[in-house]
Structure 1
């Protein structure tokens, strides 16, 4: 970033702090201090984040100085209704001038969730702390880039009166040392440089190892995907995520993707199973259009299943699975069902893949093309070739262990440690079960594709196994 931009970004923080006194004066007219009845918090953000596995603080944020308007249709209650399924705590932006926040968002969110509420603002005055407690907050943000030690202690003393937790934010080594010396229990490492507004996840990697083990450590800003979460989770207790979620039209799907990854359950044959996998956290639902499969559905059956789910269930992206099918038939099915992707699970060549792409184009169907690539589960290592003209590759097991050569639906896992091309962009399939889910999720693939490992019989999904598998995916 050039010097002019750096100065401009630095001026934003200075301007926010400099104008805070006038904003507080306006708040005192709206919420007279003498009439405040601050509540003692009974929800602990510290305890929520200390629970096993990484915790997420998801943020209700309409706008920001760096991004402008983030979420045009901002319904804080609808946002809370989604967040409560996934978050350990919920952050509510209350700064009005720069973030289009509102103190009245806090009681609205608190009434709809059981999680602790973090009041996110630029705290510089004890009145703000008292007001946050009055509105029902359980925690406040204290930024060491804004406060000196004396100011921090004054605000901390006020917060302790109401049992409010304090998320103490640091962005460099000097601020971290101060936070530790100030005995901050929850330390948030802001990956955003508040002087030039750039983000660098290396800030968390640099600072987190120096924080005492008895503190809760949160990584803030710049968290956009599961790969980043996996990378940083050994170093921290949780993540604060706002802008990346608020920018997504489908917030529930975005929460699933961030917390669990891009996972698919294939071979779905009934509405109840589709609903179960969506609620468990799957992003993709696989429908098999191959008559020889015990999990096959007809186009008419699929139309009924897709229609029923889209009318009543959480959004999920439908993927159609085809084996050496005519390109025109694939494209027509994809168009009729508005499939997100067509998965080619036969011996399709690059030429045949291109024919499928052309057929989709002729029908103006936006479905992307996935290609299943066979990996021999009977060999420890092999050279794998993948087609260059697909949008995503899915590695699946083939095996002779059942007598005949079988590709897909084997229930057998191949050797994940072998060298495979472009793992971070590829799906992993083959014998995945609740018992293998956690270890499979650590192999660096884009997502996992479950099928027979979640069944009680071919085509009949076991909801207990579904929930167990997706619970295992949160073990980080």
Structure 2
């Protein structure tokens, strides 16, 4: 249950997690809640009435409205007396295991005009079953065996529910020029000039920039429902279409969390960039979106756990300095674009063809066998990603390329090449747009850099 919950926890409109089990005690209900279930199954036919009422009430105490399963009119009357709000009619009789698809149809009359979500359980395998139940007022179906047997689960669900094919699996930020982030801004005048040049993000807190931003921003269209996209793809998509730029970014490298929180409140930062070895969980305590920097060395190390969502919202890849510190930035060192491209192409989520493994033979469990591994991350475990190496030739391309901010040695002369090769979501520059003595940004170089980015598109 924990792995199932974690696999969907980052979706903006995630599905609920049901523990479809034989629930006999309060302990199981508490256990279910602790390990990520949103609701449980209570089967009327297997529970004495007093225990059923107790378990139903206890589930409500924990914030879970149970799915109460019935098979006949007497059980339906008991379920309605609880009063259950979600009732499932099992078309399979649990005493003789015969399936009668008319069971749900007959009992549906008992919940008409009542505040009940009726579910049809068992035996549903074709669209005609779903259409028939929908016409009778059934609000949900539970699919088990048919889904398990399907070779393509997504296609099967679309066919069963008569859903259209997805219009596009391409994140909305793809096919556009990357966003531009300018680092190391030193003065309000410089910040305003960079903002007017068209930068999307800059590292300078300035009342002048904020005034300029709000005087030129346009309202966003929030009418559309947020689609379920992977964690980083969803955040990149939202920021790409958000109004009110440039966003003000505060960069911190191994500062205390208290200092970061103070700076966010005092300087009204829009985004925080963690550029050191800060704990991942800090992002959950910072009240604005967080860019996490991954320091990529020549050996390809530094991207462990890069696809793990749920904490920071954005990813920046920068080249490691050669001073042995393990940190990145400020050296003008160009990142290994070929390697970074494998990380981007590896994607946030990789879907592999479903293979039916041979039935394993029973074996005695040793203590080591009982350990629960961490949920898989991009095809690997323990946070080490498959994207750190080029995807296997037999693996299908990822539907969701990993949206990254590319940094490290970028200039107006090479940024177009970098974009065409790596295809990042955004690019970050500092030294590449400095003046000759390194004391300020050369606005002509800033404009040339932004112009080069805006002129570069990829499909």
| TM-score, with length taken from structure 2 | 0.38
Q: Indicate the structure (1 or 2) with the bigger Cα radius of gyration.
A: 2
| TM-score, with length taken from structure 1 | 0.37
Structure 1 or 2: more helix by fraction: 1
Higher relative contact order (CA 8 A, sep 6+): 2
